Amino acid sequence: MITIKFYSLLRLLVKIEQVELELADVPISTVLEEAAKKVKTPFLHKLVQDGKLITGTIILINGRNIHHLDKLNSRVQDGDEIALFPPGGGG
């Protein structure tokens, strides 16, 4: 089971706090695609364009930004927790 949590803007968009998927040992890109199918609200365009990560939403696997892992190819295992988090950069 993989858990995907949505925060702030994304949660308000998809109107759900989290989804769970029966997946294991798949790239994060697959997890996101399956999550989008499950929540039935398009949100992938906020994260990925032309196959590349865009800024504005941080994707964490077990608290680590996938920029420091293998980006969209980062592997996700059974039991992992994904967080999708649009940060506030202002002060």
Partner 1 sequence: MGSSEIFSRHSMFLGEEKMRLIRESSIVVAGLGGLGSVVCDSLYRLGVGKLILIDNKKVDLPDLNRQSLYTSRDIGQAKVKAAADRLADIHSYTEIITARIDIRDENALVALRDEHSFDGIADCLDNYNSRFDLENLLESEVFMVHGGVKNDFGQVTTINKGRSLRTLYQGEQDFPEIIPVVPQIVKIIGSVMTQEIVNNIFGEPQLLDKLVIFELADFSLYKQKVDLRL
Pattern of binders to partner 1 over 8-47, x per CB under 8 A?
A: xx-xx-----------------------------------
In the complex, minimum distance from the CB of residue 67 to partner 1, in angstroms, rounded to a whole number: 4
DSSP 37-61: HHH-S--GGGTEETTEE-TT-EEEE
Residue 60, Ramachandran bin (φ over 0: left; ψ between -120 and 50: alpha; else beta): beta
23, 26, 39, 53: residue in contact with partner 1 (rule CB under 8 A): 53
In angstroms, rounded to a whole number, what is the distance separating the alpha carbons of residues 52 and 11? 22
Binding region for partner 1 (CB under 8 A): 5, 7-9, 11-12, 53, 55-56, 58, 60, 62-65, 67-68, 81, 83, 85-91
